[in-house]
Amino acid sequence: MGAEGGLSIGNNVAIGHFANILTTDHQFTDTTRPIKDQPLLHRPVTIGDDVWIGSNVTILAGVEIGPRTVIAAGAVVKHSFPEGHVVIGGVPARVLKTL
């Protein structure tokens, strides 16, 4: 878990084993420079109240997870689900069920 880009975790959040929450991303703008020398983008992650993050979930930089969301094990969350009240899963994560 990295918080360089900003991380907000609500109340009553459960985080499973080996979950990854990333707040930085690489910017590839100059093809003549090595990847390691490219700038990092810092983007906050926001996780609402009563969220359950399953094992081996990866949440990428800039994502907002709304309240009462369940994230299935192994999901890769690359875009936001700000309204919440859903079960999401898959690679990339999508809504599986509305709660």
Spatial separation of the C-alpha atoms in residues 83 and 74, rounded to whole Å = 21
Among 59, 64, 66, 98, which residue's Cα sits nearest to residue 84? 66
Of 26, 42, 79, 85, catalytic = 26
Active site residue 26: yes
Phi, psi for residue 43 in degrees, rounded to 5: -135, 130
Task: Please tell me the distance from the alpha carbon of residue 24 to that of residue 96, in angstroms, as a whole number.
Answer: 27
Enumerate the active-site residues: 26
